[in-house]
Amino acid sequence: MVFKILVVSDSVSDKNLIKNTLSDYCVFTASNSSEAWSNLKKHQGINLVIYDVNCMDYSLFLDSLMFDENFKNLKVIIVTDNDFESKSKALTMGAIDYIRKPLHAGALQARIKLYYALLEAENQLSNQTDELVVTFERIFDEAPIGISVNYSCDVEGTERKIMKINKRFQEIVGYSKEDIISLGWEKITHPDDIAEDLHKLAQLRAGEINMYTMDKRYIRPDGSLVWVHMIIAPLKSECGQPMSYICLVQDITEKKEMEKLLSESERSKSVFLSHLPGLAYRCNNDSDWTMQYVSQGCYNLTGYKPESLLYNSEISFNEIIAPEYRDLLTQEWERILPKRAPFKYEYEIITATGERKWVLEMGQGVYNEQGEVIALEGLVLDISERKAVEDTLKYNTEHEPLTDLYNRKYLVDVLEKDLKQKKDTKKALIGINLSMIQLLAVNYGYHYVQSLMKRAAEKLKKHYQDKCILFHSRENRFVFYLWDYQEKCELVNFCNEIVKTLESFLITERIGFGMGVLEIDDSKDNTDIDMLLRKLLIASERSINLIGKDYEIIFYDENLEAVVNRERDIVDILKSIAAGEETNDKLFLHYQPIIDLETGAVFGFEALARLYTEKYGMVSPMEFIPIAEMSKLILPLGDKIIIQAFAFLNKLNQLGYKDVSVSINISVIQLLKPDFTSKLMKLIKSMKINPKNIGIEITETLFAEDSESINRIVEVLRSNGVYIAIDDFGTGYSSLAREQRIHVDCMKIDKYFVDKLLDPDLRKQITFDIISMSHKLGHCTIAEGVEHHTQLQYLKEHKCDKIQGYLISKPLSEEDAISFLEKYDSNLIFKLLNQ
């Protein structure tokens, strides 16, 4: 039998979907009621009409069918957007069922199969009795749906007599035919569905409707539920019997579960999109990024309502993108789409109020079976807050907090980039060395020095040029980076202008500064940026050393190159020593005695590192220790020095000098190493050293870098019996407030102040103030560099606790130090005082 279907809809896409889905049937289409009537008359025998209620004249069409004898029995299904009024009205006017949009191919096919089976059943029942019996048997045996036929007017009522129930019906509900007849349909129907079923049944029996459908639940014997789509329709009997009814059921449990999951998914998606800090979209792959769908988050992100962007009704998304990013965004999509790769890009948009926002777009292409891009889908998220944090972090990592100038890290980054990209451009570094400014800290304190550095920075900023950047490279140093200049004289003129600027306010402070210039030679290997900056530092320090009445600008040249080469050689020598290699180069210790002025006894020794090299002979500690710190070799070398000093202590202990101490100079790099304290205490234990005989000397400037961390380390050492001394006191960031916070045992007065004691007018000296302040803070004092009787007398009179210097002894080898102890006369101090 040919099953003919007429589809009436003004939606081309819906008509095509239905026609393609029902390709096994004969399908005709119409766009309105007029075309529908033409098709009904032209194509005789149409069995089913699928009518979209969005067609404005659907009511007139249904009315006409009911009063036309030729078509009053024609079955009609409506397609609705779930509009309750339209659905109810259409069903009242004779439609047998409804299909909810959006249309799904699978559900549509299942529904039509039911009506096809219904039509077959009706046609077969109208045939002769013998044919009816054969047909029913075949339908019942082969039908993929549940079927029951009743001869009682009480369809599925408790008093009905069921003629036949097929196997599929029994499989669906889970009961045998006998159980169904015995229990009745109400007993196996879910209580929530009984009222609707009874209401529709009453309408059918009263002739108000031709048939009815509903989704209902049966309760199976095990208590589980099965969802079915049920169709109840009358069957006319030709033998004078009462009206018969047929019941068709299709198991839709899986479909209902999928609908539930889909509903939950839609709810989750709705919740997700409502809390999304941005928007979700689907758009065309065109120059405007024409939006097919935009989520509600569009308004909060852009200031435009979603409907404003849909199909570019008021504005295109491309117009919202900041102009400088539009081409870049297009290029990135063009790059990733052929690869079918995910899209990820950060850019700025301009909102409806003119505000610029940073966004992160993440998306992907949508492709058809031919591999063509048919759309783009993705998210656009607001990352303005993240960008603000990133910008702040980036600013902080690239700038010096005191002066807000670019720092050394940024200078290194710029040089690394420019040395690769600006090969044919002249480049130079101008270093401004204000290290002499630290001398002012003695009289005016650290904060005064800081304010001077800020003033210097402000004055230097005035020399900014198009091809010139100023950096605050180190604590007391600035660097100008210049490029694309023509002649060396331009650099000289630029430096002279800087000299005038700095002289104008530093002259009142009575301090000098140094200025070095390094022209970068592109023909040489400049990959070591640290070495370039080291060369610049050497030039600026040489400038300080050569300053007389007039300032001299020092250009780095071959002579200074020799200094750098020497430094490189010393680094290699120190590396060999640190690695324990057998060479003729030696790192060893000398020991300078420290005398107690009260008792005249030897208090202890200061361990002083010495370096002998085969190439340069003896190298001053003032030279090799800064190199060791700069290269971080001070860590392994420092360990070796500590072990040597402890071994000397053990030897003194064996010789009976159990109260003599040894103090060791410790670098900031060593002290701040996380495991320094634990390693030191472990070494003390393993070498069986008395911690009370160990002194640790640290420079005063160390406390300015991180006083809280240093104090915590110092407290741990002191709690274990080690005594702590501040070395070179008075040359760093001295202030009464800072000294009160320093938890140490001794202050070592720098040789600079001891030398001043040779001046005729001792009243001008502040050495006594240092001694007095130290005592008030509970610290002892040790004067370094004592070489003359006058100095000794002053220190003794002003109650300095201890002294060291050439007046007593020069630094001694280990053997000579032991010999010094053996021969030392404790009355030596008193003899010297009486000379």
- In this prediction, residue 735 carries a pLDDT of 47
Mean pLDDT of the chain: 85
| Stronger pLDDT, 72 or 790, i.e. the higher one | 790
DSSP for 252-321?
A: -HHHHHHHHHHHHHHHHHHHHHHT-SEEEEEE-SSTT--EEEE-THHHHHHSS-HHHHBTTSS--HHHHB
Tens digits of residue pLDDT in 223-267: 999 999 999 988 765 444 555 788 999 999 988 888 777 766 666
Averaged over 176-186, what is the pLDDT? 87
Window from 300-309, 521-530, 651-660 with minimum mean pLDDT: 521-530
Residue ranges with strand state E in 559-678: 586-596, 602-613, 617-619, 661-665
Give yes or no for residue 744 having a pLDDT over 70: yes
Asked if residue 137 has pLDDT above 80, the reply is no
Assess whether pLDDT exceeds 90 at residue 415: yes
Q: Tell me, what's the pLDDT at 436? A: 80
Give, as one character, the DSSP assignment of residue 153: S
Beta-carbon contacts of 508 under 8 Å, excluding residues fewer than 6 positions away, are none
Question: Which helix H or strand E contains 708, and what residues bound it?
Answer: helix 701-719
**38: confidence class by pLDDT, cuts 50, 70, 90:** confident
Range scoring the smallest mean pLDDT among 451-465, 492-506, 760-774: 760-774
**816, pLDDT greater than 80:** yes
Preceding omega of 102 cis (within 30 degrees of 0): yes
pLDDT at 365 over 60: yes
CB burial of 32-66 (b: ≥16 within 10 Å; e: otherwise) equals: ebeebbebbeeeeebbbbbbbbbbeebeebbebbe
**Distances in whole angstroms, Cα of residue 291 to Cα of each of 335, 347, 371, 533, 785:** 21, 19, 21, 55, 82
pLDDT band at 382, cuts 50/70/90?
very high
By C-alpha distance, which of 296, 197, 315 is closest to 247?
Answer: 197
pLDDT of residue 358: 95
Task: Choose the weakest-confidence range: 33-42, 267-276, 480-489, 639-648.
Answer: 267-276
- Whether 146 and 168 have beta carbons less than 8 Å apart is answered as yes
Asked if residue 3 lies in contact with residue 25, where contact means CB atoms within 8 angstroms, the answer is yes
Beta sheet of 146-150, edge-to-edge order? 162-165, 146-150, 244-251, 225-235, 212-219
pLDDT, tens digit, 9 for 90 and up, residues 266-302: 666 666 666 678 899 999 999 999 999 998 889 999 9
- pLDDT on residue 13: 82
pLDDT in tens, 657-688: 999 999 999 988 898 888 999 999 999 999 99
pLDDT over 70, % of the chain: 86
Helix and strand numbers, DSSP H then E, in the chain: 32, 30
CA distance 763 to 761: 5
Q: What pLDDT, on the 0 to 100 scale, is given for residue 251?
A: 92
Smallest CA-to-CA distance from 51 within 8, 93, 91 is with 8
Distances (CA, A) of 74 to 49, 96, 312, 582: 8, 10, 45, 110
pLDDT of residue 93: 55
Task: Characterize the bridge pairing of strands 278-283 and 553-555.
Answer: unpaired
Burial of 345 (C-beta count, 10 Å sphere; 0-12/13-18/19+): middle
CA distance 795 to 72: 129
What was the pLDDT predicted at 542?
A: 79
187-224 pLDDT, tens per residue? Answer: 999 999 999 999 998 998 888 988 999 999 999 999 99
For the chain, how many residues are written? Answer: 835
What does the pLDDT average to over 790-814? 95
Among 249-263, 584-598, 787-801, the least confident range: 249-263
Q: Flag whether pLDDT at 401 surpasses 70.
A: yes
26-40, 233-247, 771-785, 803-817: least confidently modelled range: 233-247
Q: Which of 566, 702, 557, 558 is nearest to 624 (CA)?
A: 566
Q: What is the pLDDT of residue 62?
A: 75
Confidence of residue 548 (pLDDT cuts 50, 70, 90): very low
Core vs surface per residue 252-268: b (16+ CB within 10 A) or e: beebbeeeeeeeeeeee
Distances from the Cα of 284 to the Cα of 293, 343, 345, 515, angstroms:
10, 15, 18, 62
Angle at 523 between CA 522 and CA 529, to 5 degrees: 50
Give the model's pLDDT for residue 314: 94
What is the mean predicted confidence (pLDDT) over 138-157? 67
Question: Which comes out higher in pLDDT, residue 82 or 667?
Answer: 667
Q: Enumerate the H helices of 462-616 as residue ranges.
A: 488-506, 529-546, 558-579
Give 161's Cβ-side CA count (13 Å radius).
7
Chain Cα centroid distance, residue 777: 48
**Distance from the Cα of residue 9 to its chain's centroid:** 53
Q: In the predicted model, is pLDDT for residue 704 greater than 80?
A: no
pLDDT of residue 643: 96
Q: What is the mean pLDDT of residues 529-541?
A: 88
Is the confidence at residue 143, as pLDDT, over 90? no
pLDDT at residue 732 tops 80: no
Which residue bears the tokens 């101008």?
430
Given a cut of 80, is residue 400 above it in pLDDT?
Answer: yes
* Residue-level pLDDT at 702: 58
The shares of helix, strand and coil residues in the chain, as percent rounded to the nearest 5, are 45, 25, 30
Q: Which of 88-92, 460-464, 643-647, 771-775 is the least confident region?
A: 88-92
Answer whether residue 156 shows pLDDT above 60: no
**β partners of residue 602:** 595
Strand partners, 378: 281, 363
